[in-house]
Structure 1
Amino acid sequence: MRTSTRRFVFLPATVAAAMALLGGCSDAVRVSAPTTTGATSAQCRALRAQLPRTLMGRERRSTTPDSDNTAAWGSPAITLRCGVPEPGPMNPASPEYDPHETQTVMIDSSGMCWLTQPTSGGGYVFTTVKQQTFVELDVPGAYAGQDYPLPELGAPLRKTDPASTDPGVAFDCS
């Protein structure tokens, strides 16, 4: 008596398709997207459309979740978040607040004003200071000593998010 055994063979095309789907997901950078509304949402959407394809010579990458408030370049990822809350050193309600602390505020060569905060990994978080919407750029320590990213963002930021006219802005780069 003869018995038959069924064997399942995965087709190479099926495996390749599954890998392509999974591979596309793994390339996206996870970035926490700030929740925005109104004018801030419009400014972040406009900024994302104007951001450069490369930053510090690194190619732009997709972000997850997909949001008008985030962008990323390179690996390890340099990430941008638009519509972040006011940084602690600028917020009078924060224990980090110090209106006289100007050592962490700088103007880049494009004329933009940034708050600079070191991270534990040797990198920096830069946050716009005078714009109407706070934009944060997180540059990992792996890029220390390399090109400076801020001037490349100056033109898109000025075009899409004008300087605040609020006289209560704690830090002034001028």
Structure 2
Amino acid sequence: MLRTHTRSVAATLASALVSVLAAGCGASSTSTVTEPSPSGSAAQGCRAVMARLPGRVAGLSRTATGSFTASWGDPAVTMRCGVARPSGLTSTSRCDEVDGVGWYSQEFTEAWRFTTIGRSGFVEVTVPAVHSPAADALVDLAPAVSAMPVVTACR
């Protein structure tokens, strides 16, 4: 388990994660972000997360906010709160902790997707590869995402 507590350590994690991406890879802008429909404790936690979102993430200004979504910049760093559990997330999946929030990481051709682990609902953050280091977004979102209640510790 990797625990990080500052932007510089988080940046080191992100640099390692994105080093496998080809230099100059871009991500196309997302015109529509699918709005999740959380219920119960996930919806309650998402409302708390949304109320605490920062105006800037990874140096990018907020460009859109929905009921349970937000985006920053172009190409957009996107956050969706109340998404379904990722199909690849298992009890043995790696959990990287950034400023007290556990994340499951998925690599795609032009972006990284991070989904919270151990919270009452799942928060998903997608960071296009052009916004490196990707962990800057996680550091900036950690105070808001910390409003989602913890149900299990990052292991």
TM-score normalised per structure 1 = 0.65
Conservation of the 8 A alpha-carbon contact between 2:127 and 2:134: no
Equivalent of 2:53, from 39, 51, 54? 51
**Partner Cα separation in structure 1 for residue 83 and residue 52 of structure 2:** 18
- The secondary structure found in structure 1 opposite 2:42 is helix
Note the residue ranges of structure 2 that are not aligned, 5 or more in a row.
Answer: 1-29
The one-character-per-residue Cα deviations of 1:26-83 (angstroms, maximum 9, x if unpaired) are xx952101112233222212211100000011001124xxx32100000100000000
Conservation of the 8 A alpha-carbon contact between 1:127 and 1:134: yes
Percent same amino acid among aligned pairs?
A: 32
Name the one with the larger strand percent: 2
Conservation of the 8 A alpha-carbon contact between 1:128 and 1:134: yes
Corresponding residue for 2:92?
100
Conservation of the 8 A alpha-carbon contact between 1:44 and 1:68: no
CA RMSD of aligned residues (A): 2.0
Corresponding residue for 2:150?
163
Note the residue ranges of structure 1 that are not aligned, 5 or more in a row.
Answer: 1-27, 91-96, 166-171
The yes-or-no answer on 1:42 pairing with 2:44 is yes
Could you tell me which amino acid in structure 1 is paired with residue 138 of structure 2? Answer: L
Corresponding residue for 1:117?
106
Corresponding residue for 1:72?
71
The one-character-per-residue Cα deviations of 1:73-99 (angstroms, maximum 9, x if unpaired) are 001000000000111122xxxxxx4x4
Q: Deviation of residue 119 (structure 1)?
A: 1.2
Conservation of the 8 A alpha-carbon contact between 1:29 and 1:62: no
Q: Deviation of residue 113 (structure 1)?
A: 0.6
**Partner Cα separation in structure 1 for residue 76 and residue 62 of structure 2:** 9
Corresponding residue for 1:142?
130
Corresponding residue for 2:114?
126
Corresponding residue for 2:22?
none
Conservation of the 8 A alpha-carbon contact between 1:56 and 1:148: yes
Could you tell me which amino acid in structure 2 is paired with residue 48 of structure 1? Answer: M
RCO (CA 8 Å, sep 6+): is it higher in 1 or 2? 2
Whichever of the two has the greater Rg, that structure is: 1
Corresponding residue for 1:88?
87
**Count of residue correspondences:** 126
